Amino acid sequence: MTIQATDDVAGDASATGGLMARAAATLLPTYARQPVAFVAGEGCWLTDAEGRRHLDALCGLAVTSLGHAHPDVTAAISSQAARLLHTSNLTYTVPQIEVAERLATTLGWPDARTFLANSGAEAVEGALKLARRHGLAQADGKVGVVALSGGFHGRTLAALAVTGSPAKHAPFEPLGAWVTHVGPDDPAALEVAVGADTCAVLLEVVQGEAGVVPISEELLRVARRACDRVGALLVIDEVQTGIGRLGAWYGWQTTAVEPDVVTLAKALGNGLPIGAVVARGAAATAFGPGDHGSTFGGGPLPCAAARTVLDVIARDGLVAHAQRMGAALRARLEDLTRRHPVASGVRGRGLLQALELDAPVAAPVTSAALARGLVVNAVAPAAVRLSPPLIITEPELDQLHDRLDAALADSAGAR
C-alpha cells in the first residue's frame, strides 16, 4: 500500500475551522496564529485551504526569499533527496563544503570558517560557545556577553538569555548572569558595559523582532572599538538581515562596521532548516575537534538547498534587485502614510521594512490585510512588518500597496 499525504484540502470552504479545532486538540499552544492554513505557494503567492490566493509580503518570517516552489530550489532538493539524505559529520559531504565556500565569497572573508546548524537559535548558541572559547583562551572568567535591549536571538535557553526582552525572560528565569543588556540608543552604556571579562558583543544591525529597528552607526562603531579594546568578538546576528534581505548580501555590509562572527539562518535554505556560524580571523581558530557538533547540522539536503539559494541570488542579481525593490516598497509605504492618519512613518532597510502606526492597531490591520489577501505581520503593537520575497516585482508591490491601503481603510472603519 502506498502511504498518502492528506493535506490536499484546497477548495473546502470549511477546511480552516476544522484544522483549527484539530490543532487546538493536538498542538501545544505556543503560537498566536492567524486563522488561515496555507496549502500551496508559487512565487510571491500563497493558496489557502479554501482556495483563496494571498500575496506573501512576509516570507514566513523572512525565510522564503526566493518565493515559493522556486524551480531551481525544487530541482536541487529533489535530486539531492534521491541521491543522499544523510551521513554523519564524521565524514565529508560535497554540499556542506560548497555552502561554506559560497558564504566565504559573499562575506568577502577569504579566511572564513563555517559551522552549520539547523536554526537561528542554534547558530546563536554556536556563536556564543565560540566566543566563550575565544575568551577563556585569553583569561579565566572572560565569559561575559553584552547584548542590546530589544534584540532577538532565539528561544533556546542561551539564545533567550541574550534576547533583550524582559517579557520573554520572565516566565523562565533565572537565565544568564553572564549577559548584560544595554539600550540600543545608548553607546555610552555599551562602552561601559564592555570590560575585561567580556567575550562578545552580540547585536543585529536592524532589530527584526523588536519591530524593524535600525541600529545607529555610532553604536555599531562603539561596539567595534569596545571589542577591539578588550579582545572580545563582535558577533552580528544576521539570521533575519542576511542573505540579501537589506539590499546587501549581509546587513553589516550596509554599515561602516565589520564583525568577527555572523550568524545566519532564516533565508539561507529558502524554507529548509539550516543555520550557520561564520567566523573570520582569530575567531575562526577558536574551536577544535569535539568543541561543538550537531547530528543534522550541515546535512546534504538543507545544504543542497542553501547552495542553490546562494547561486540563484548571485546569478539573478537579486541583491541589487532587493535594493531597488526596497526603495520602491518604501515609496509605496510612504504614500500610505500620506493617505491614512493612523500610518505615521516607515522604518527599515531594503526589503525589511515596517509601517509605523500611531496607535496599537497592528493586529487589526494585519487581520484586515489577511481578509484582503495580503500576508503581513504585527511585529509590534504599533508596527506592521513587511519582508516580501527578494524576487518581488513592481506590479506585485503595487498590489501590496493597494491591498494594505484597503486594509488600513477597513480597519479604520471598524474602529
Positions in the binding site for ligand PLP (CB under 6 A): 119-121, 124, 152-154, 204, 208-209, 237, 239-240, 265-266
* CB-nearer residue toward ligand PLP: 127 or 361: 127
Phi then psi dihedrals of residue 64, to 5 deg: -85, 65
Q: What is the CA radius of gyration of the chain?
A: 21
Q: What grid cell was written down for 30?
A: 505556543
Closest CB 354 distance from ligand PLP, rounded Å: 14
* CB-nearer residue toward ligand PLP: 112 or 128: 128
**Which single residue is written with the C-alpha cell 567580556?**
198
In Å, how far are 168, 244, 250, 364 from 102, measured between CA atoms?
A: 35, 14, 13, 42
* CB-nearer residue toward ligand PLP: 124 or 328: 124
Closest CB 207 distance from ligand PLP, rounded Å: 8
C-beta separation of 123 from 263 below 8 A: yes
Residue nearest to ligand PLP (CB): 120
Half-sphere exposure of 230 (CA within 13 A, CB side): 29
**Amino acid in position 230:** V
Closest CB 248 distance from ligand PLP, rounded Å: 16
- The residues, ordered by sequence, that sit 6+ positions from 276 with a Cβ below 8 Å of its Cβ are 99, 103, 114, 115, 116, 117, 123, 263, 264, 265, 268
Report the largest interatomic distance among the alpha carbons of the chain, rounded to a whole angstrom.
67
Closest CB 222 distance from ligand PLP, rounded Å: 20
Using CB atoms within 10 Å of the CB of residue 44, give its burial: 0 to 12 exposed, 13 to 18 middle, 19+ buried: buried
Closest CB 120 distance from ligand PLP, rounded Å: 2
Closest CB 396 distance from ligand PLP, rounded Å: 24
- The residues, ordered by sequence, that sit 6+ positions from 307 with a Cβ below 8 Å of its Cβ are 76, 95, 98, 99, 102
* CB-nearer residue toward ligand PLP: 240 or 270: 240
* Residues facing 276 on adjacent strands: 116, 264
**Which single residue is written with the C-alpha cell 553589516?**
252
Closest CB 407 distance from ligand PLP, rounded Å: 24
